[in-house]
Structure 1
Amino acid sequence: MKYQLLVFDFDGTLADSFGFFIGVFDQLADRHGFRRIADEDIDRLRGYDARQIIRHVGIPLWKVPGVAKDFKAMMSKEIARVSLFDGISELLQALVAQGVHLAVLTSNSEENVRAVLGPSNAALFSRFECGATLFGKRGKLRRLVADSRVPRSRILCIGDETRDADAAFAEGIAFGAVAWGYTQLDTLKAKCPDLVFASVDDIPHQLGLRRDSV
């Protein structure tokens, strides 16, 4: 297999949390003084990158860390509302069975990530880089790569947002876009990802995992 280390985003890639995000957005908007999202705007906003969404709802950049902190706290209190996408557990087990190393790179908290993964899945990951600022994934990715000592050519980042792609490409690492996350696939394709995964089941097939391990 070409890749020795897979770096997964969490929300929208491993975890199906978009419904929770939309469900608490109005509470966050009222608490922090920015615009709510109208139902008819949701699909359009999924075609935006993070900076465009921030501008659309009118969040000053200085408020972003506080909003993110509250979102993570709200998720922690209602963590049962968030689950892994179907097939993720089996995928992670198959990857590790073939000697692939796994890492998580996310803006969410390690507490939330571990709670949704569950103990058995969490144990499959060799590295958790959590709590990245909205535009701070590159720095955490750089540290992760340096500590891993895996050549950049053998690392693949997998995510559902344009900022995942930006961080990967800025560090000279391949990026795989997923079709089931927060951001519309056409928007991700505009970033020219190295791989595009139409479904969770598409990941092992495109990465060349042996059939007996999938």
Structure 2
Amino acid sequence: MRYKHIVFDIDGTLIDTEYAVLHSLQDTLIAVTGINKEINELTFALGIPGKNALKKLNIPERSFSLILEDWERCMCKYSNTVCIFQGISDLLEALVQSGYELGIVTSKTREEFKQDFESFDISNCFTAIICADDTVEHKPEPDPLFKYMEVTNASNNEMLYIGDSAYDRECAKGAKVDFALAGWGSHSREIQADYYLEKPDDLLSILGD
């Protein structure tokens, strides 16, 4: 077994939240700030903490709390658009049966994780979950993966991190952890990766299971 720990990002990797994230952000910006952005102007917000997205929009920090609360409430309007990517449930079941330790490293806060992810029946597959609250620095910095290693006593050479964005790749690179690109959720095939996965069960071929 080359890897002991298979660690996943959430948005764009395990669940498809793109429509909900972007449209709720668009609605919130209009309602709270009057800023009206097209959806394609907001895709940078995918895969990074909400505070970082607001910084990139040049929103004053004094407004962060109000906007983030409204954004999270607005996400609930689009909850019916959020779903597990096809093939993910079967992949996780196969990995667990094969003896892998499964983890999550996400830019979601713990509260966002509870609201957006815990209701799915795959949440109990994961033994260690690192959220944005758990580190001072976030992706693309390597700190979240370092925190995962601290919590699980895993070493970087026995871990594989799977994500859909350049932020995920940079996080893995900084932590010297092998990275697999989730092609089913990624916006770019130009992101460098140790493995390119077109569909979830491609991972099983790579692992040899």
Query: TM-score when scaled to structure 2?
Result: 0.79
Q: Counterpart in 2 of 1:163?
A: 167
2:128 aligned residue: 127
Question: 2:163 is matched by which residue type in structure 1?
Answer: G
Match of 1:139 in 2: 143
**Partner Cα separation in structure 2 for residue 98 and residue 89 of structure 1:** 14
SS at match of 2:125: coil
Q: Does the alignment pair 1:178 with 2:177? A: no
State the shift of 1:79 in Å: 3.3
Q: Give, as a single letter, the amino acid of the residue that structure 1 aligns with 2:82.
A: V
Matches within 5 A, 1:87-98: 87-98=87-98
Asked if the contact 1:168/1:174 (under 8 Å) is kept, the reply is: yes
Distance 1:124-1:45 versus aligned 2 partners, 3 A rule: closer
Structure 2 equivalent of residue 212 of structure 1: none
Uncovered stretches (5+) of structure 1, i.e. residues with no partner: 210-214
Residue by residue over 1:153-175, the C-alpha shift from the partner in whole angstroms, topping out at 9 and shown as x without a partner, is 11011101111111111111111
Change (3 A) 1:195 1:66: farther
* Closer/same/farther in 2, CA of residues 152 and 66 from structure 1, 3 Å limit: farther
| Residue 58 (structure 2) aligns with | 59
Q: 1:147 to 1:22 in 2, by over 3 A?
A: closer
Q: Check whether the contact 2:7–2:103 (CA below 8 A) recurs between aligned residues.
A: yes
1:66 and 1:84 map into 2 onto residues whose CA distance is 29
So what's the TM-score if we normalise by structure 1? 0.77
Check conservation: 1:25, 1:37, Cα contact below 8 A.
Answer: no
Structure 2 residue runs without a partner (length 5+) = none
56-65 vs 141-150, greater mean Cα deviation: 56-65
Question: Which stretch of the first structure deviates more once superposed, 93-102 or 55-64?
Answer: 55-64
Match runs of 1:1-214 below 5 Å? 1-33=1-33, 35-38=35-38, 41=40, 45=43, 58-60=57-59, 62=61, 67-76=67-76, 78-108=78-108, 109-111=112-114, 112-115=116-119, 117-118=120-121, 121-132=122-133, 136-137=138-139, 138-186=142-190, 189=191, 192-209=192-209
Closer/same/farther in 2, CA of residues 171 and 74 from structure 1, 3 Å limit: same
Q: Is the 8 A contact 1:142 1:171 kept in 2?
A: yes
- C-alpha distance in 2 between matches for 1:66 and 1:163: 26
Change in 2 beyond 3 A, CA 1:158/1:34: farther
Cα RMSD of the aligned pairs, angstroms, is: 3.2
CA deviations 1:2-49 (Å, max 9, x no partner) are 11101100011000111212332321221443743325x36x957x99
**How many residues in Structure 1 have an aligned counterpart in Structure 2?**
198
Report the alpha carbon displacement of residue 77 of structure 1 after superposing the two structures with TM.
6.0
Contact persistence 1:102–1:124 (CA under 8 A):
yes
**Identity in percent:** 23
The CA deviation at 1:204 is 1.5
